[in-house]
Structure 1
Amino acid sequence: MDKINLNEILQIEDLLNVKIRFNLMFRDNWNPIDDFKNGNLEVMLEGHYHNYPNKRSYKVGQVTIAFVKIHPKENYWLLFHIGKVTKDLNVYNGIGYEYEALKEYEKYFGRLIIRFKNRSQMMIRNAASVIDDCEVSQLLPDTFDNDLFPGYDKVNISWIELKRVIEKDTWKTALENQKGVYLLTDISNGKQYVGSAYGESMILGRWRFYIRNGHGGNIGLTPINFIHVQENFRFSILDIYKSTTDDLIIIARENWWKQILQSRRFGYNEN
């Protein structure tokens, strides 16, 4: 199958007036793909139209193409914006421009994925010099979403991520059919909480409570401010068991993990 480059899809005639920004990381090393999945497009556009401390990124009238890297170790990028610079705000080390989105390309936003290896340290490239190397990988039928359940041993997500994925079909199916022992980690201080799930909807049911109130009715967690939980807690799974497993086995395993991790002495477990 012949490769398709980016401009075979976009059909931009004046490439000399186009710049492509490959958005890796900005805002305290936060990966902008997380902002895309959380719907924070405004934050992403602030990064895209950001000027360096001593260098302008664009000129008035230029077309800008915005890609975000899907995974830090892979060369796949998601298109999230194409716009035209309408005003230079003369701001350095901040948002430097006013712009308008080009509506004729909106049908590709969040759907077009390219493969491109940026061999330069520069994030902003002249389109004419790189567009032939931007190989179209996929044109998704709907907006990008890579939130498939990764496997029980690979779950390690923040509260914000959990809120986003917990009602997705693959996550619901995986979590509502397994009893288990799970771990909450407070990244602000390293304290941990070991919990078990064997009631209605199993792990799914327990984790839904953390989304609702942050503490799930657990004595050791109730004093913690809900905002603190949202900003600092991560969720992972230590053990999983079939739904037919005796609850006493789950409880025994929960106690074993509490001893191993010393979560009663140094963490949030109080029993």
Structure 2
Amino acid sequence: MLTFCGMLDLAGIERKSVRLLRHQENFPGRPTPYTLWRDAPSVFDTYQETQSVNFEGGLRAPLWASFVGLPGPETLFVGLYSAEFIGLLSEDRVHPLSGRVEEAGSCNLYRLERRQELSEYIGRLWIEWGKGYRSWIQRADSGSKPIVELRRTSGEDPFPGFNQLILKLSEIETVPVSWSAALSGTRGIYLLTCPKTREQYVGSASGENGFLGRWREYFATGHGGNLGLKSRDPSDYQISILETVGSSASLDDVLRLEVRWKVKLMSSELGLNRN
């Protein structure tokens, strides 16, 4: 079985010199580590430079192999770095991911430099991290990390079309850039389905940022202000699009379509709609 740590061996890199880092922080309305790496790699490198003082012992190694986690078990290799411990952060700066201020002395600073080893696999190599997702720092000499996929290119999948699109709510912030553009520029009627209760909710996206803007509200709050969804425990809803509307459609047109779909699917009687 091919493993990432086996690839380190083939590259002549001692496993004991490498720490494996899996980044998967989420802040509502902010980029994820995956989207930050995808859209602004240099900013992603800056994000990695500061780490909690609590992790100093675990990070003390000359090399870091960095990965980003997507919703669920997916883990993507994004680079091998030389890592030099500098000390406590000397001045305030804005955290690239959360947008909050990291105060001087509140965290450790590292000097990172991207290595050429294994660079041909960046954005292409997907591994099985294992069940210990909370253990986001691990030693390369204490595991193997099976390779589950090696893609030919690091490009993203093409947009499948509005009728074919099916997503989980947790995937909203990691969709490809081309998908985001299509979804934020289109309005219409969508369906949320709870995987736990099988209940459905019909909603409409009529705002400036279309489907994507509305779905981000659900991702941030868990309910988007809807009474029916508030009455249930938060869930990773499945999202699909029932109908799109043109740019000339008025708000009344969209609301009439929403009512029609509620009647068709009986989502008020059998689902989560409350009006």
TM-score range, shorter chain: 0.5 to 0.7
Question: Equivalents in 1 of 2:254, 2:204: separation in Å?
Answer: 14
Cα deviation code 1:237-257 (max 9, x no counterpart): 33269xxxxxx9xx9775242
Q: 2:151 aligns with which of 140, 158, 164?
A: 140
CA deviation after TM superposition for structure 1 residue 68, in Å: 1.0
Is 1:164 the counterpart of 2:162? The answer is: no
Change (3 A) 1:64 1:86: same
Contact 2:88 2:106 in 1 (8 A): no
Q: 2:166 aligns with which of 154, 163, 171?
A: 154
Question: Equivalents in 2 of 1:109, 1:8: separation in Å?
Answer: 16
Which residue in 1 is equivalent to 2:124?
A: 111
CA deviation after TM superposition for structure 1 residue 30, in Å: 5.5
Change (3 A) 1:66 1:118: farther
Contact 1:51 1:93 in 2 (8 A): no
CA deviation after TM superposition for structure 1 residue 162, in Å: 7.9
Structure 1: which 5+ residue stretches go unaligned?
184-191, 196-213, 216-228, 242-247, 262-271
Is 1:16 the counterpart of 2:20? The answer is: no
Contact 1:85 1:97 in 2 (8 A): yes
Which residue in 2 is equivalent to 1:122?
A: 135
Question: Equivalents in 1 of 2:16, 2:150: separation in Å?
Answer: 25
AA of the residue aligned to 1:50: T
SS of the residue 2:142 aligns to: helix
The aligned runs of 1:1-271 (5 Å cut-off) are 3-10=1-8, 11=10, 12-25=12-25, 31-37=32-38, 39-56=39-56, 57-59=58-60, 62-70=62-70, 72-74=71-73, 76-91=74-89, 93-94=106-107, 96-119=109-132, 121-130=134-143, 132=144, 134-146=145-157, 148-149=159-160, 152=163, 154=166, 164-165=178-179, 181-182=188-189, 215=208, 229=209, 233-234=213-214, 237-239=241-243, 255-257=256-258
Larger radius of gyration: 1
CA deviation after TM superposition for structure 1 residue 77, in Å: 1.1
Question: Equivalents in 2 of 1:94, 1:78: separation in Å?
Answer: 26
CA deviation after TM superposition for structure 1 residue 193, in Å: 6.0
SS of the residue 2:88 aligns to: coil
Contact 1:22 1:123 in 2 (8 A): yes
SS of the residue 1:22 aligns to: strand
CA deviation after TM superposition for structure 1 residue 15, in Å: 1.4
Contact 2:188 2:204 in 1 (8 A): no
Cα deviation code 1:40-76 (max 9, x no counterpart): 22343344343214341533x6110001113x222x3
Question: Equivalents in 1 of 2:162, 2:81: separation in Å?
Answer: 38
Cα deviation code 1:159-196 (max 9, x no counterpart): 9968532679xx9xxx99xxx9446xxxxxxxx8655x
* TM norm structure 1: 0.56
CA deviation after TM superposition for structure 1 residue 118, in Å: 3.9
CA deviation after TM superposition for structure 1 residue 96, in Å: 1.5
CA deviation after TM superposition for structure 1 residue 128, in Å: 0.3
Question: Equivalents in 2 of 1:125, 1:234: separation in Å?
Answer: 37
SS of the residue 2:117 aligns to: helix
* TM norm structure 2: 0.55
SS of the residue 1:8 aligns to: helix
Change (3 A) 1:147 1:43: farther
Change (3 A) 1:150 1:82: farther
AA of the residue aligned to 1:73: G
Question: Equivalents in 2 of 1:253, 1:27: separation in Å?
Answer: 31
